[in-house]
Chain A
Amino acid sequence: MYKKKETLIGYAFVAPALISFFVLVAFPFFFSIFLAFTKWNFLSGFKGIQWVGLENFKNLLEDKLFIQAIKNTFFYAITTVPVSIVISLILAYILNGKIFLRKFLRMCFFIPYISSIVALAAVFKFLFREEGPINDMLMKVNMISEPMKWLTNPSLSRVPIVLILIWSAIGFELIVYMAAIQNVPKELYEAADIDGANSFRKFWKITFPMISPTTFYLVVVRMIAAFKVFSAINIMTTGTQAKENTSMVVLIYGNAFSDYKFGYASAEAVVLFFIILAVTIVNFIGQKKWVHY
């Protein structure tokens, strides 16, 4: 059925993609799974790989730091994703209505998204110092009576991390939402105007259901990104000993490249993979209830 020559040419075109797929994705993925069942210090060379079966996974269950990292990662995901999406949606709705300076305002919200997150985290780390501007300002308006330990207190130091993740995510979500809202047919609003619907009602009954596929897309994409969070937390926690706030990728990175426990870190990575897979599947099942196509 297929011409031989066409098949040959087809594979010639796909070859670069196929090769990079095997080298960069498929092989590393299956090797990760293999390594998860081994004990291996990279410095000992390939001969040093020891098969240990399920030992890594058994140890993970008792590893308090790992359990903490899973909890933290879920915490970051379920705080930053909904909050940033709700804020972006409200901002996008207002910015798409009648307003002055639309482009300029959109740019202001967009800037943190395109800025290097390492640079943003460096700024936050300084703003939230014990003697830094944030404490100064809060004390000036009498919201707090003594400086807060934003960076070193385990539960407090989540605040700057969550803020920075929300802050840097809104630009992307805002632009996607603004485009989606512009695609809602104008006739629907005109019909609602005739019925005398107010602005809030129009938003809730027309805009929100019409753009629900976009909301779903953003929830999935941001959730996956949230479970991979690394840069901001790596910067915010280095040098502060606040290990309690670590995320899964930060922990994997530490175990692999500071402690050289490649097998153990691979087991953690495999768990991360299944968590992301599960969260995505749950999202896809849940969408039937609220996404209108």
Chain B
Amino acid sequence: MGKMEKQPRINRRKLVICIVKTIIISAIAILFVMPLIWMGLSALKTTNEVFAHPFKWLPAKPMWSNFKQVWCVENVNMMKSYGNSIIIVFFSTVGQIAIASLAAYAFAKIQFKGKNFVFMMFLASMMIPGQVTIIPRFMLFKSMGLYNTLWSCILPFWFSTTAIFMLRQFYIGLPNDLMEAAKIDGAGHFRIFLQVLMPLTKPAMITLVILAFIGSWNEYLSPLIFITKQEKYTVAQAIRWYLLDELQRYDLTMAAATIAIVPVIILFISCQKYFVEGIATSGVKG
């Protein structure tokens, strides 16, 4: 009898703990997104309201026109910057994964002279941060005529030791039987790579797409150095321009920042599973 009475009480206690935990963590979570909510609300204010002192949360009348202005009216408009950033993200991701897949396949499945040396050389280069080599890179790109082109922001992503290493581990894990069967059918390495094995590395490629996306979308140093023409600005540069050059129109700066952040959040919510898995595998395996 006593036991039967005790059971629900424990459950109730657990439920209370669970609710208390939820409330505490929710409070912290709200604190986390508060600046972003404030950003979104400020984007709807007039310039006077944005600078109002003491501050108000809500605008008297939402100024949706702010978004329109930063999206397509201003000289530095977010529509163009978005286009530029999307081009950069697309080509840097595709290039990185294509180059890394080829190399990873060779490291995992082809026996060739000097393989280990090349691989160790790549691994060692992980210790060289891109920021350290930015000056010669500037010189090089400038003499190659890449100054003020989006290529200057795309190419640096094409060599990624992390991508090569991760894909190599994945290719090693793929059974050799598949390869042997294709070989008997007369397929060469390139066909085996393209038609048999590469499609199987999709999970690893998704992880890398996510990581490359976050990396190149947020890249700021390269565009700052290589891109000076306003029509070539990336999203990050456009925000900087609003912040520094646009005569303290903070409502517009916040509208630009909102436009920069919200689509990425929506993208994240709709592919949350891939984002989370991608980042988790990159970390747990390391």
A residues sitting closer than 8 Å to B (CB atoms) are 2-3, 6-11, 13-14, 16-18, 20-21, 23-29, 31-32, 35, 42, 91, 94-95, 97-101, 103, 105-120, 122-127, 131-133, 136, 140, 167, 170, 172, 175-176, 178-180, 183, 214, 217-218, 221, 224, 227-228, 230-231, 234-235, 238-239, 249, 252-253, 256-257, 262, 265-266, 269-270, 272-273, 276-277, 280
Q: Quick one: which of B14-44 are within 8 Å of A by CB?
A: 14, 17-19, 21-22, 25-26, 28-30, 32-33, 35-36, 38-39, 42
Q: Which residues of B contact A (CB under 8 A)?
A: 14, 17-19, 21-22, 25-26, 28-30, 32-33, 35-36, 38-39, 42, 51, 53-55, 98-100, 102-103, 105-107, 110-115, 118, 121-122, 125, 127-129, 131-140, 155-156, 158-159, 164, 188-190, 193, 214, 217-218, 220-221, 224-225, 235-237, 239-240, 242-244, 250, 253-254, 256-257, 260-261, 264-265, 268-269, 272, 275-276, 279-284, 286
Is A123's CB under 8 angstroms from B133's CB? no
Q: A110-B268, A257-B225, A269-B133 given; name 11 further pairs at CB < 8 Å.
A: A3-B111, A6-B111, A11-B112, A20-B155, A29-B132, A118-B237, A122-B239, A172-B279, A228-B131, A272-B129, A272-B132
Q: List 24 A-B contacts (CB under 8 A).
A: A2-B112, A10-B110, A14-B106, A17-B122, A25-B159, A29-B128, A29-B132, A31-B139, A94-B25, A98-B14, A98-B17, A109-B32, A112-B32, A117-B236, A123-B38, A176-B279, A214-B284, A217-B283, A231-B218, A231-B236, A256-B134, A269-B135, A272-B131, A276-B127
Task: Choose one: B42, B107, B138; the contact of A256 (CB below 8 Å).
Answer: B138
Q: Which residues of A contact B103 (CB under 8 A)?
A: 13-14, 16-18
Of A7, A119, A235, most B-chain CB atoms within 10 Å: A119
Instruction: Tell me whether A114 and B265 are in contact in the complex, defined as CB-CB below 8 angstroms, given that A2-B113, A228-B129 are known contacts.
Output: yes
Most buried by A among B18, B30, B106: B106
Q: List the 8 closest pairs (A to B, CB-CB), nearest first.
A: A10-B112, A176-B283, A179-B280, A28-B133, A13-B106, A108-B29, A17-B103, A28-B136
CB–CB B272/A103 < 8 A: yes
Cα separation A70 to B250 with both chains bound (whole Å): 33
Provided the pairs A16-B103, A120-B35, A176-B280 are in contact, do residues A262 and B135 lie with their beta carbons within 8 angstroms? yes
Evaluate contact between A105 and B26: CB separation under 8 angstroms: yes
Q: Are A124 and B35 in contact (CB under 8 A)?
A: yes
Q: Check B284 against A23 for contact (C-beta < 8 Å).
A: no
Q: A6, B112: Cβ atoms under 8 Å?
A: yes
Q: Which residues of A contact B239 (CB under 8 A)?
A: 116, 118-119, 122
Q: Given the complex, which residues of B lie within 8 Å of A120, measured CB to CB? A: 35, 257
Residue numbers in A under 8 Å from B193 (CB-CB): 13
Q: Are A9 and B279 in contact (CB under 8 A)?
A: no
- Cβ–Cβ contact B128 & A13, under 8 A: no
The docked-state distance in angstroms from the alpha carbon of A280 to that of B218 is: 24
Contacts of A179 in B (CB 8 A): 276, 280-281, 283-284
Known: A117-B220, A231-B221, A235-B240. A273 touches B250 (CB 8 A): no
Is there an interface contact between B18 and A98, defined as CB atoms closer than 8 Å?
Answer: yes
Q: Which of B99, B106, B135, B220 contacts A32 (CB 8 A)?
A: B135
Which residues from chain A contact B190 at a C-beta distance below 8 Å?
Answer: 9
Residues of the A chain whose Cβ atoms lie less than 8 Å from the Cβ of B127: 273, 276-277, 280
CA distance A13 to B121 in the complex (A): 16
What chain B residues lie within 8 Å of A270 (beta carbons)? 132
C-alpha gap A249/B240 in the complex (Å) = 18
Q: How far is the CA of A47 from the CA of B33 in the complex (A)?
A: 53
CA distance A218 to B281 in the complex (A): 13
